[in-house]
């Protein structure tokens, strides 16, 4: 540990406030950073109310230099993840630091030491706070703002990670497309053929039956990604919690459900990019932030195709291509003419091929790192 840098665990209310507000110090003057809602950040770390902490534990740390906060990090043990993946891994996340190797090393050391104390064999991240949430370190396209529920960080973080000895575990890709890429007649014909051949029907979610729709989505979710890298099933409480959060920002016509012979086969969740509005309120809803948020939310032009899942027995039938077509149509209909499809695992070749054939371009890479003990 550097003599000039002191690390301490977050324990008091004052420490927690410093931890939550520290990113504002790192990103001051950066036009691409989107301040998170401070209220949401506090709720995320609430171990009594957030159902994630019924199966997880967390320890957060702050780094100080000359009595000034210069960095932060959290370490997490997700017991459900380890049980499901048959792993003994700790997670690090919520990393922010000034451009100083001594500071970042002290933070990583604190997280590693705590994770080791929990009898883990490796750590990976960044994940805020798990693989079912915001994850990955942006390693390119720093001149682009993040889409909703995607991370952003300064370019020098990659150097700090690798100087500590963290190694690449997996890359996650984001693809971009807009209305300048038209729907060709071929795509229209192929979509129609696939739907007719396999008797596929697609409909948007019904907001009045949101609880029913969440149950259908859960059926697909816990089957579609069962053996994917980093996957861990949501608990019923987590799914209900997520549903309540998503419900406030979704456009139900952008939640698509696919059926074959009246059985749920797949779903696709597309979110309007509320980051375009959040940028305007600096993380605070009061006193006027809520009014600003509602006003600018009417002017959104971007969307993120966040989740696309197909149950095992319905794969290789072209449902993903149908979703791409239907989402494009619905997005343009609602004035959302700029889209990101993210994230996609670097080795998810079927989905990558669909993106390439569509004509979209890969424009962002998010990297997951790990360290074996």
Q: Quick one: pLDDT at residue 1?
A: 52
d(CA 176, CA 159): 26
Q: Quick one: pLDDT at residue 136?
A: 98
Q: Is domain 5-171 in CATH 3.40.50.150, yes or no?
A: no
Q: Quick one: pLDDT at residue 2?
A: 59
Q: Structural domain boundaries of the chain?
A: 5-171, 177-367
Mean pLDDT by 10 residues, the chain (373 residues): 86 97 97 96 96 98 97 98 96 98 98 98 98 96 96 98 98 90 75 91 90 88 82 89 82 93 93 95 88 90 94 90 89 92 93 85 97 96
Say which residues have a Cβ less than 8 Å from residue 21's Cβ, sequence separation at least 6: 38
Nearest-10 crossing angle of helices 319-333, 185-197: 130
d(CA 72, CA 27): 14
d(CA 316, CA 342): 20
Degrees, nearest 5: CA angle 149-151-154 = 160
**Helical H runs in 168-258?**
185-197, 210-224, 236-247
Q: Quick one: pLDDT at residue 49?
A: 94
Is-same-fold flag (5-171; 177-367)?
yes
d(CA 72, CA 163): 17
* Cβ pair 214, 252 in contact under 8 A: no
| DSSP letter, residue 60 | E
Handedness of CA 225, 168, 343, 22 (dihedral sign): positive
Q: Which long-range contacts (CB under 8 A, 24 or more apart) does 178-187 make?
A: 178/337, 178/338, 178/339, 179/332, 179/337, 179/338, 181/358, 181/359, 181/360, 183/325, 183/328, 183/329, 187/321, 187/325, 187/358
Task: Tell me how far CA of residue 324 lies from CA of 248, 273, 277, 331, in angstroms.
Answer: 24, 17, 25, 10
**Which residues are 61's β-sheet partners?**
9, 73
Buried/exposed code over 138-147 (b: 16+ C-beta within 10 A; e: otherwise): bbebeeebbb
Domain spanning 177-367: which CATH class is it, in words? alpha beta
Q: Quick one: pLDDT at residue 81?
A: 96
Q: Quick one: pLDDT at residue 373?
A: 94
Q: Quick one: pLDDT at residue 243?
A: 81
């Amino acid at each position: 540990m550097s003599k000039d840098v002191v690390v301490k665990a977050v324990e008091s209310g004052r420490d927690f406030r410093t931890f939550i507000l520290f990113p504002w110090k790192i990103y001051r003057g950066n036009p691409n950073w989107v301040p998170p809602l401070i209220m949401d950040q506090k709720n995320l770390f609430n171990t009594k109310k957030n159902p994630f902490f019924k199966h997880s534990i967390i320890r957060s740390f702050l780094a100080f230099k000359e009595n000034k906060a210069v960095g932060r990090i959290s370490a997490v043990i997700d017991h459900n993840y380890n049980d499901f993946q048959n792993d003994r891994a700790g997670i690090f996340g919520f990393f922010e630091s000034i451009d100083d190797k001594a500071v970042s090393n002290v933070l990583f050391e604190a997280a590693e030491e705590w994770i080791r104390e929990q009898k883990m064999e490796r750590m990976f991240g960044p994940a805020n706070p798990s693989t079912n949430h915001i994850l990955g370190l942006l390693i390119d396209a720093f001149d682009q703002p993040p889409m909703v529920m995607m991370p952003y960080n300064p370019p020098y973080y990659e150097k700090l990670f690798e100087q500590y000895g963290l190694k690449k575990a997996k890359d996650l890709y984001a693809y971009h497309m807009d209305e300048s890429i038209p729907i060709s007649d071929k795509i229209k014909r192929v979509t129609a053929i696939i739907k007719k051949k396999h008797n596929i029907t697609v409909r948007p979610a019904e907001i009045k039956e949101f609880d029913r729709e969440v149950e259908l989505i859960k059926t697909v979710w816990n089957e579609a990604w069962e053996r994917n890298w980093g996957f861990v099933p949501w608990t019923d409480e987590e799914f209900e919690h997520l549903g309540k959060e998503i419900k406030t920002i979704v456009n139900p016509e952008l939640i698509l459900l696919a059926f074959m012979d009246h059985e749920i086969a797949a779903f696709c969740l597309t979110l309007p990019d509320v980051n375009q509005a959040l940028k305007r309120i600096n993380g605070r809803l009061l006193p006027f932030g809520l009014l600003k948020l509602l006003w600018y939310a009417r002017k959104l032009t971007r969307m993120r195709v966040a989740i696309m899942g197909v149950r095992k027995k319905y794969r290789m039938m072209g449902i993903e291509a149908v979703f791409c077509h239907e989402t494009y149509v619905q997005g343009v209909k609602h004035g959302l003419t700029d889209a990101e499809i993210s994230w996609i695992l670097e080795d998810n070749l079927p989905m990558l091929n669909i993106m390439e054939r569509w004509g979209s371009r890969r424009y962002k890479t998010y990297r997951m790192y790990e360290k074996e003990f």
